[in-house]
């Protein structure tokens, strides 16, 4: 299910490089990113939609992985960017994205952040009436082309924290107020040209997407009819899931795209909406399966339960602790080996919740073995921290067996950077 590659030695191979050699050379924990996986995922998804509808754009949701090299790869592929903070805008500009290809969808945005958006020239997707009104008072905002994030009253996601549509969600403007908000934008002198929704993340079932497309298109239709808005683009956000568990299957992306586009076209006709650009904002689908977290077992311990203790923790990869997410784990010198035991795989953080797996069937594991945690490309390094004063790991990018360090391992000095002890405490 996970397309694992092994080399002649029987070791896990990542982008043509031997995982054991990478770990020896760059030390652990180590994020290893396979460049061609990213490119392949981008191209497959782009093709699936663009062959159904030729006015189509993708905005990579860079919160999934903001490494500059990863961003550069996506810039080369022709992607746009979904940015959610000034820092992400800054990184995107540095990676070479044209401001016109960056859509800023912030939540609870300050005036300073709005000013930064205006001066950087990126497109602005507005999340609240408050934001719209404050924007109208800022210099440089007159006549701006804007869009609105609408809550289409549909939500889905792999965990409740990752559902971003529906009545409990803090995001977007309500369906019922959409027409009024677009009218208000026009009165304030803006040019509303887009509409957006994002219902959640990690969705493997096409059904919620279909509901969201239907809902957003009905809202767009009303806004067009009642406020006379001509849409340049309609953006359905991200959320396409990938299989993390062995028994989950991949979404049939061609069939998925066809269903979505058929409904989109039907609704364009129903409401006479012309031929706006159709956009999506994938994050996980593009980078999720591109990366492995390599971590070494340093302690095997039989307590009330059996533990394999490794040199990474939830400071390195938060998803299992934060969402209870499953990440498949293999032993790097025998990735296909059958399980012989069940055990817990625990990190090195001083909290009991620091577990990569509970009761996981695994082959024999000894101290010194290298483990590879799969699907660590999305929301992995980007959610890492220095908790327990641990420097963050390095990242390497591999292609054709060659590895480049794209982020150096942090040092203790990096952990201490920006701290100051007041003079009065220095004796
Ligand atoms: N667009 C917007 C406005 C978003 O908020 C997100 C994700 C995306 C696009 C991309 O969603 P994706 O295609 O990656 O599902 N930390 C969580 C995921 C949080 C997603 C937040 N927003 C996790 O590790 O599962």
User: For the chain, what are the domain ranges?
Assistant: 5-34+289-416, 35-287
Cα separation values, 40 from 74, 273, 351, Å:
11, 33, 38
Helix axes 86-94, 68-77, angle to 10 degrees: 60
36 phi/psi in degrees, rounded to 5? -70, -25
Residue closest via CA to ligand 1's atom 3 equals 198
Phi, psi of 227 (to 5 degrees): -115, 0
> What is the rounded CA–CA span in Å between residue 392 and residue 387?
9
CA distances, 427 to each of 413, 417, 419, 423 (Å)? 22, 21, 17, 8
Q: How many residues does the chain have?
A: 427
Give CATH for domain 35-287.
3.20.20.10
Say how far apart CA 356 and CA 372 lie, in whole Å: 11
Distance of CA 145 to the CA centre of its chain: 26
Mutate to test the pocket of ligand 1, among 63, 290, 316, 373 (most ligand atoms within 8 A of CB): 63
The answer to whether residues 276 and 232 touch, using CB atoms and an 8 Å cutoff, is yes
pLDDT < 70 positions in the chain: none
Structure letter (DSSP) for residue 141: -
For ligand 1, atom 16, the nearest C-alpha belongs to 379
* Ligand 1, atom nearest to 64 Cα: 14
Residue to probe by mutation, ligand 1, list 45, 238, 373, 384, most atoms within 8 Å of CB: 238
Angle, helix 86-94 to helix 111-120, in steps of 10 degrees: 20
Beta bridge partners of 297: 310
CB of 141 within 8 A of CB of 166?
no
Please tell me the class of the 5-34+289-416 domain. Answer: mainly beta
* Count of other CB atoms within 10 angstroms of residue 196: 25
- Residue 158 has what pLDDT? 94
Q: Which residues are catalytically annotated?
A: 350
The pTM of this model reads: 0.97
Closest CA to 148 of 199, 197, 201, 213: 197
Atom of ligand 1 nearest to the CA of 281: 9
Question: Measured from the CA of 201, which atom of ligand 1 is nearest?
Answer: 15
Which residue's alpha carbon is nearest to atom 24 within ligand 1? 379
Distance 217 CA to ligand 1 centre (A): 21
User: So what's the pLDDT on residue 1?
Assistant: 75
Quote the pLDDT of residue 59.
Answer: 98
**How far apart (Å, rounded) are the C-alpha atoms in residues 366 and 297?**
7
- Nearest one of 326, 237, 340, 345 to 288, comparing CA atoms: 326
Report the C-alpha gap between 103 and 111 in whole angstroms.
Answer: 17
DSSP letter string, 218-265: HHHHHHHHHH-PPPSEEE----B----STT-----HHHHHHHHHHHHH
- Note the pLDDT tens digit of each residue in 364-408: 999 999 999 999 999 999 999 999 999 999 999 999 999 999 999
291-302 and 306-310 strand pairing: antiparallel
Helix (H) or strand (E) holding 360: strand 355-362
- Of 323, 325, 359, the C-alpha closest to 344 is 359
Residues sharing a CB contact under 8 Å with residue 21, sequence separation 6 or more, in sequence order = none
Ligand 1 centre and the CA of 283: distance in Å? 6
Ligand 1: residues within 6 Å at CB? 61, 63-64, 82, 105, 162, 164, 198, 201-202, 237-240, 281-285, 319, 378-379
Q: Name the residue among 195, 386, 406, 402 with its Cα closest to residue 287.
A: 406
Whole-number Å distance, alpha carbon 284 to ligand 1 midpoint, is 7
Neighbouring C-beta atoms of residue 410, cutoff 10 Å: 16
Please identify, by atom number, the ligand 1 atom nearest to the C-alpha of residue 158.
25
**Cβ proximity of 216 and 195 under 8 Å:** yes
Beta-carbon contacts of 170 under 8 Å, excluding residues fewer than 6 positions away, are: 107, 108
Which residue from 86, 85, 84, 61 is spatially nearest to 74, judged by alpha carbons?
61
Residue 10 CB partners (closer than 8 Å, separation 6+) = 333, 334
ipTM of model over 0.90:
yes
- Residue 145: which of 233, 258, 268 has the closest Cα? 233
- Mean pLDDT across the chain: 97
Q: Which of 49, 61, 70, 171 to mutate to test the pocket of ligand 1 (most atoms within 8 A of CB)?
A: 61
pLDDT of residue 415: 98
- Report CA 366 to chain centroid distance, whole Å: 34
Q: How many C-beta neighbours within 10 Å does residue 47 have?
A: 14
Q: Which of 119-151 are b and which e, b meaning 16 or more Cβ less than 10 Å from the residue's Cβ?
A: ebebbbbbbbbebbeebbeeeebeebebbbbbb
Binding residues for pyridoxal 5'-phosphate: 239, 281-284, 379
């Amino acid at each position: 299910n996970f397309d694992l590659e092994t080399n002649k030695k029987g070791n896990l191979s990542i982008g043509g490089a031997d995982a054991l050699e990478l770990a020896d050379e760059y030390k652990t924990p180590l994020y290893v990113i396979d460049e061609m996986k990213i490119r392949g995922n981008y191209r497959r998804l782009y093709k699936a939609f663009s062959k159904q509808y030729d006015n189509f754009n993708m905005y990579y949701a860079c919160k999934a992985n903001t490494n500059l090299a990863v961003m550069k790869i996506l810039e080369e592929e022709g992607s746009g960017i979904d940015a959610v903070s000034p820092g992400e805008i800054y990184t995107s500009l540095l990676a070479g994205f044209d401001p016109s290809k960056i859509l800023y969808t912030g939540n609870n945005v300050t005036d300073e952040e709005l000013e930064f958006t205006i001066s950087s020239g990126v497109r602005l997707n507005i999340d609240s009436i408050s934001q719209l009104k404050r924007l109208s008072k800022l210099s440089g905002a007159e006549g701006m082309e804007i869009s609105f994030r609408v809550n289409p009253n549909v939500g889905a996601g792999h965990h409740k924290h990752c559902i971003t549509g529906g009545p409990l969600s803090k995001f977007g403007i309500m369906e019922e107020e959409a027409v009024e908000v677009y009218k208000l934008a026009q009165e304030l002198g803006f040019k509303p040209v887009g509409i957006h929704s994002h219902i959640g993340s990690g969705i493997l079932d096409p059904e919620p997407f279909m509901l969201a497309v239907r809902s957003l298109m009905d809202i767009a239709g009303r806004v067009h009819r009642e406020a006379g808005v001509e849409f340049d683009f309609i953006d359905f956000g991200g959320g396409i899931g990938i299989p993390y568990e062995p028994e989950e299957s991949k979404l049939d992306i061609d069939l998925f795209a066809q269903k979505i586009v058929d409904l989109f076209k039907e609704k364009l006709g129903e409401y006479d909406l012309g031929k706006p650009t159709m956009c999506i904002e994938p994050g996980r689908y593009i980078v999720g399966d591109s990366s492995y977290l390599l971590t070494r077992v340093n302690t095997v311990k039989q307590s009330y339960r059996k533990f394999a203790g490794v040199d990474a923790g939830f400071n390195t990869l938060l998803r299992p602790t934060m969402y209870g997410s499953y990440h498949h784990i293999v032993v790097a010198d025998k990735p296909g080996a059958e399980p012989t035991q069940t055990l817990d795989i625990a990190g090195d953080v001083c909290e009991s919740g620091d577990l990569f797996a509970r009761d996981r069937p695994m082959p024999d594991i000894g101290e010194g073995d290298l483990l590879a945690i799969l699907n660590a490309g999305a929301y992995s390094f980007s959610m890492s921290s220095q908790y327990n004063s641990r420097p963050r790991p390095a990242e390497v990018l591999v292609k054709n067996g060659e590895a480049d360090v794209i982020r150096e391992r942090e040092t203790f000095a990096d952990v201490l950077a920006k701290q100051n002890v007041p003079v009065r405490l220095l004796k």
